[in-house]
Amino acid sequence: MEYQTQLLVVMITYTVLLILYGLYQGRKVKSEADYAIAGRKLPGWAAALSERATGESSWALLGLPGAAYATGLTEIWTALGCVLGIITAWVAISWRLREEAEKYNVNTFTEYIARKHGDVNKWIRIAGSSTIVFFFFFYVGAQFLGGGKTLHTMFDLDQNLGMFFVALVIVPYTIYGGFRSVVYTDVVQAIIMIITLVVGPIVGVIYLMNQPDLFANSIGEALTLAGPTHSTLTGGASGFAAGIVIAGGFSWFFGYLGGQPQLSMRFMAIEDAKQAKQARNIGVVWTVIAYNGALCLGWIGLAIFGPSGLKDAEYVMPAVILELFPPAIAALLITGAIAAMTSTANSLLILSSTELSENIINPLMDLDKKKALARSRWITAILALIALGLAYISPSKVIFTLVSYVWAGIGGTFSIVILLSLFWKKYHGKAALATIVVGLTFTIIWISTGMDKVITARILTFFVAGLTAIVSTYAFKGSK
C-alpha cells in the first residue's frame, strides 16, 4: 500500500504543477497569433525542447523500447532513420522554415503552404487542413492509449480510465493557453524525459551486473540468449527479406523532413536566426542521447524479464523503471512517459484546432474575427473529446502501428511539399495540391488493403508523393 501511495503522490503533484504552469503561461495569450504560434517569439531553447518532447511522443518511451525488447538489434534501423531524419530537419530545414514563416507572416503550417503557392490558396487550405485534422485524430488517440497503458502498469488502473485521466491533465491548459502553454509545458516534459532516458540505462546496466538470477547479466548476453531474432540486425532474415526489414526501420527518416506539422510549427515559431542556431544544437544533442537511451531500456528489459516475461512489450519501460528504483523515484522517471504522451497530444490538439479555425472555418464562413480566439478554444475542446472517443473505440491497441499511419499519411506527403516548396522554384500551387491529395489517397488505400505489411507506406507514400509532385509540376501550369 505504501508503495502505491508514493507513486500516486508523486504523479498527482507533478500533474497539478504541470496544469498550473500551463495555465500561467496561458495568461500571456492575447491574440490569435499568440494562441496559434506564440507570436513567433520563441527562444531557441524552448523551441528545441518543445519540438523534441512533441516529436518523441508515447512511441519513443513505450513503442520504441517495446520494439527493442521484442525484436532486439533490428530496432537500430528505426532509431537510425529517426535520428538522421531529425538531424537533417534541424540542420537543413528549420532555419529556412523560420525565415519563410516570417516572410509570409503566417500562423499555421498549411497557411504557409497556401501563401507560398497563392494560385490555389483556398484549395490548399481546405485539402491540407482536412488531411492534418483527419490523421491527427489517430495520433492523439495513440497518445491517450499510451497514457492508459502506463497508468495501468503503475497503479493497475483500468486502461480506459487512464486514458480519461491523461485527457483531463492536458485539455484545460491547452484550451486556455494554446500553443504558448503547450510549448512551455513541453520544456518541463523534455527535461524529465531526457533524465529518464539517461539515468534509467545507467542504473539498469549496473543492476544487471549485480543480480545473478536474471535472464541475463548484460545486454549482449540477453540478445544472444534470445536467439537470432534478437541478436542480428535483420531479425534473422537474409537476402531480400533482410532488405525489407532494414528499409522498413529506416523509413521513419522520410517523415521528419518538414512533413510533421506539429514539429515544423516549432521551427516556424523561433524568434530569429541566432535563436534558430541555438535550437538546432540543443535539438540534435537531445535526440542522439534520447534514442540511445530508449533502445537500451528495451534491451535491459529483455535481460531482466526474458523474451516472454512481459505480456505486452510496450510495458517494458515502466516495468524496468519500477524494477530499478524506489517508488518515489520510479514515479518521477515514469512521468517521462506520461510527459511524452501529453506533449504530443496537446501539440496535436492545438495544431488541429488552429488549422481548422484559421484555414477552414474562419476564412470560408466569414465569421467575426474578434471572436476568433474564443472560437479556437471551443474547437480545441471539441477535438479533444472526439480524439478521446476514437481512442476508446479504436480497433488497434498498438501505439507503434497507430503512429506509423500518421507518419505515412502526413509525414511522407508533407515532407515532399515542404522540401520542394523550399528548394525548387518551379514547384507551384496546383502541384502542391495534387501532392497532398494523392499522398493522402494512396496512404489510405495502401494500408487498408493490407499492402503495408509487404512494403511500408512510410517509404512508398514519400516516393509516390514525390513522383506526383514532379509530374504535376510540369503537367499543370502554375501562376509563378
Torsion angles phi and psi, residue 321, rounded to 5: -60, -40
- DSSP per residue, 166-188: HHHHHHHHHHHHHHHHHHHHHHH
- CATH class of the region 2-393: mainly alpha
pLDDT of residue 99: 96
Burial letters 61-99, b for 16+ CB under 10 A, else e? bbbbbbbbbbbbbbbbbbbbbbbebbbebbeebbbbbbb
The kind and range of the H/E element at 402 are helix 399-406
Cα–Cα distance between 270 and 282 in angstroms, integer?
Answer: 13
Contact of 458 with 410, CB cutoff 8 Å:
no
Q: Which three cell numbers stand for residue 244?
A: 525489407
- pTM value is 0.91
For residue 263, the one-letter residue type is: L
pLDDT at 479: 63
* pLDDT averaged per 10 residues, the chain (length 480): 72 86 92 91 96 82 90 94 95 96 94 91 91 81 76 78 86 91 92 91 95 92 93 85 86 91 96 96 96 96 93 88 88 75 83 88 68 84 85 61 74 95 95 94 88 86 96 83
Contact of 276 with 101, CB cutoff 8 Å: no
Q: Which ranges of 74-120 does DSSP label H, i.e. alpha helix?
A: 76-88, 94-104, 109-116
pLDDT at 299: 97
Q: What is the distance between the alpha carbons of residues 281 and 313, in angstroms, rounded to a whole number?
A: 33
Give the per-residue pLDDT at 366: 64
Give ∠ CA 134-135-140 in degrees, rounded to 5: 105
31, three cell numbers = 491574440
Sign, CA dihedral 13-16-19-25, equals: negative
Longest dimension (CA), the chain: 71
> Cα–Cα distance between 237 and 108 in angstroms, integer?
44
What 3-state class would DSSP assign to 325? Answer: coil
Termini Cα distance of the chain: 69
- Joined together, the cell numbers standing for residue 67 give 520494439
Among residues 247, 265, 243, the alpha carbon closest in space to that of 410 is found at 265
- 315, three cell numbers: 510495458
Output the nine-digit C-alpha cell for 23. Answer: 495555465
Phi and psi angles of residue 76, each rounded to the nearest 5 degrees, phi first: -60, -35
Q: Which residue in this structure is represented by grid cell 495540391?
A: 433
pLDDT of residue 329: 87
